[in-house]
Amino acid sequence: MRERLAELWERPGIRLLAYVVFAVSMFALFLLLTFPERRVRQIVTVQLEKALGHQYDVTIAELGMWRLTGAKFEGVQLKERVSATERVGVEGGLAKQIYIERISARFAPLGSLLRRGATVNYQVDIGGGVLEGSFTQSSSRRLVTVQSDELDLRQSTLLASLLGIPVFGQLDTDIELELHPSRPVLTGGEIALTGRQFTVGPTTLNADSLPVALDVPMTNFGNIVVRAHVESDEGGKDPRLVIDEFQTRGRDINTEIWGHVELGAQMGRSRPRLEMRLQVNEEYVTANSLGVVFNMAEFRKGRHQDWYGFTLGGTFQDLAFRGAATAARGPTEQAAEPAEEAQD
- Over residues 130-165, the pLDDT tens digits come to 999 999 988 888 899 999 999 999 888 777 777 778
CA 64 vs CA 25, 51, 98, 100, 120: distances in Å: 17, 22, 21, 16, 17
3 state DSSP class of 292: coil
pLDDT digits (tens, 9 = 90+) for 283-342: 999 999 888 888 889 999 999 999 999 999 998 888 888 999 999 999 876 555 554 444
When pLDDT is averaged across residues 61-72 and rounded to a whole number, the result is: 76
DSSP string, 2-44: HHHHHHHHTSHHHHHHHHHHHHHHHHHHHHHHH--HHHHHHHH
Query: Does the pLDDT at position 172 exceed 80?
Result: yes
Instruction: Give the model's pLDDT for residue 264.
Output: 80
SS (H, E, C) 233-276: CHHHCCCEEEEEEEEEECCCEEEEEEEEEECCCCHHHCEEEEEE
* Residues 335, 344: Cα–Cα separation, whole Å: 15
pLDDT digits (tens, 9 = 90+) for 84-101: 444 444 444 446 778 888
When pLDDT is averaged across residues 185-192 and rounded to a whole number, the result is: 92
Which is nearest to 301 in space by CA: 323, 271, 282? 323
Instruction: Give the model's pLDDT for residue 238.
Output: 83
Instruction: Give the model's pLDDT for residue 213.
Output: 64
The letter for the amino acid at 204 is T
When pLDDT is averaged across residues 213-217 and rounded to a whole number, the result is: 76
Average model confidence (pLDDT) across the chain: 80
pLDDT digits (tens, 9 = 90+) for 127-138: 889 999 999 988
CB 124 within 8 A of CB 145: no
Domain ranges (residues) in the chain? 35-81+95-100, 108-251, 256-331
pTM over 0.85, yes/no = no
Q: What residues have CB less than 8 Å from 113, skipping those under 6 apart? A: none
Instruction: Give the model's pLDDT for residue 89.
Output: 45
Q: Which residues pair with 253 in a beta bridge?
A: 280
pLDDT digits (tens, 9 = 90+) for 228-256: 999 988 766 789 999 999 999 999 999 99
Q: Report the share of the chain in percent with pLDDT over 70.
A: 76
